[in-house]
A and B are shown apart, each in its own frame.
Chain A
Amino acid sequence: MDGKSDEELMAQIARGDEAAFRLLTHRYSSRAVALARRVTGNIADAEEVAQEALLRVWINAPRWRPVASFRTWFYRVVLNLCLNRKRRAPFAALEDAGDPADPGPDPAAQLDEQQTGRLVAEAIAELPERQRLAIVLTYNEGLSNAEVAAVLGTSVSGIETLLVRARRSLREKLDAFVGKL
């Protein structure tokens, strides 16, 4: 069952197959938590959003029609839940995302890596929300511009404009580090 596409798993879930649902949650739970955390700004909210989004997948599976890819639909559900939550609660500061994973035994290199990671995190956090989401969905989830447009409910040209602005902004802030790579 591991090799099955998301859409094939959804067809099984629609027939009440809990094993297929388990596999799909295994594929998407950490992605959903990570994405939700970038939007809501804290892990507790992100966890609730991810759980709610996956629960909706189970509940609505019999009614789901594969007109778009599952991934696009699912990220849209996650983002909508995050935005609903943010509308209800005051905005929490983004990017208490923690330091990057342990890069290795060299303390100087580790410090350098941590500093770079923090600066990248800050630069991304300072982007306007839609630009940040476009960057996360493009780089983290590997979505095409058309898929990002579907998730964010806008046109492809709108996404292209967001990405151009976001990349310009990031380049201005991170140019010094880009040279180091």
Chain B
Amino acid sequence: MNLAQLEQLLETYGSDETRWPRATRDAARRLITTNSDAQRALERAYNMDVLIKHHLSENQQTAEIQQSATRVMAALHQKLPQQKGQWRLRLSRLLDFDLFAASPRLAALPAVVVLGFLVGLSDFSHQLLGSPSTLDTDVSAIVFDSDSLTGLR
């Protein structure tokens, strides 16, 4: 790693080496321990990080922010509205079953029922099995025709 690459690393990830990519960490450390310009670059980046963090954390702790946060909490801790999706949770609890994970499989059940109705209402079953009268004839032929069973008439 050279100085330009270290500066790029510092601009991308800051001075906190835990944020640096593992692959570059060792090379960056080696450069910093052996090169005084690299040490200065790290020091500059560290000071910049401290300055920004210090400013941002102080702004978050202002009395105004805290008071506002307190008002938000007070408003939210009054009566809360109904949660969305509670019916699924209640049903899951009732069945002691994770409906979220099983929902695609469960959806197959009503789909099969609906498909059954559709097939029943259409003429599709007749086309497959033949007309009811043909069926009756075939069945009675097997049951009542003595030839087929004993060879006697």
Distance A127 CA – B147 CA, assembled complex (angstroms): 99
Assembled-state Cα–Cα distance A144/B19 (Å): 7
Greatest chain B CB density within 10 A among A18, A120, A160 is at A120
Are B75 and A51 within 8 A (Cβ)?
Answer: yes
Flag A117-146 by CB within 8 Å of B: 1 or 0 each. Answer: 100110010000000000110111000110
Question: B22-49 vs A: 1/0 string, CB under 8 Å?
Answer: 0000000000000000000000100111
Q: Are B85 and A139 in contact (CB under 8 A)?
A: no
Check A153 for interface membership: any CB of B closer than 8 A: no
Contact of A170 among B52, B71, B77 (CB under 8 A): B52
Q: Which of A37, A62, A121 contacts B86 (CB 8 A)?
A: A62
B contact face: mostly helix, strand, loop, or mixed? helix
Which B residues lie within 8 Å of A58 (CB)?
Answer: 76, 80-81, 83
Among residues of B, the one whose C-beta sits closest to the C-beta of A15 is: B89
B59:A51 contact, CB within 8 angstroms: no
Chain B contacts to A: CB under 8 angstroms: 8, 11-14, 19, 44, 47-53, 55-62, 64-66, 68-73, 75-77, 80-86, 88-89, 100
- Count how many chain A residues have C-beta atoms less than 8 Å from C-beta atoms of the other chain: 57
Interface pair B65/A120, CB less than 8 Å apart: no
Q: Which residues in chain A, 17-69, are within 8 Å of chain B measured between CB atoms?
A: 18, 21-22, 25-26, 29-34, 37, 43, 46-47, 50-51, 54-55, 58-63, 65
Contact partner of B83 (CB less than 8 A), chosen from A16, A97, A101, is A16
Contacting residues, chain A, for B58 (C-beta < 8 A): 100-101, 117
Q: In the complex, A52→B66 CA distance in Å?
A: 17
Asked if B73 and A178 make an inter-chain contact with CB atoms under 8 angstroms apart, the answer reads no
Q: Please determine whether B48 and A140 come into contact, CB atoms closer than 8 angstroms.
A: no
Distance in Å: Cβ of A10 to nearest Cβ of chain B = 12
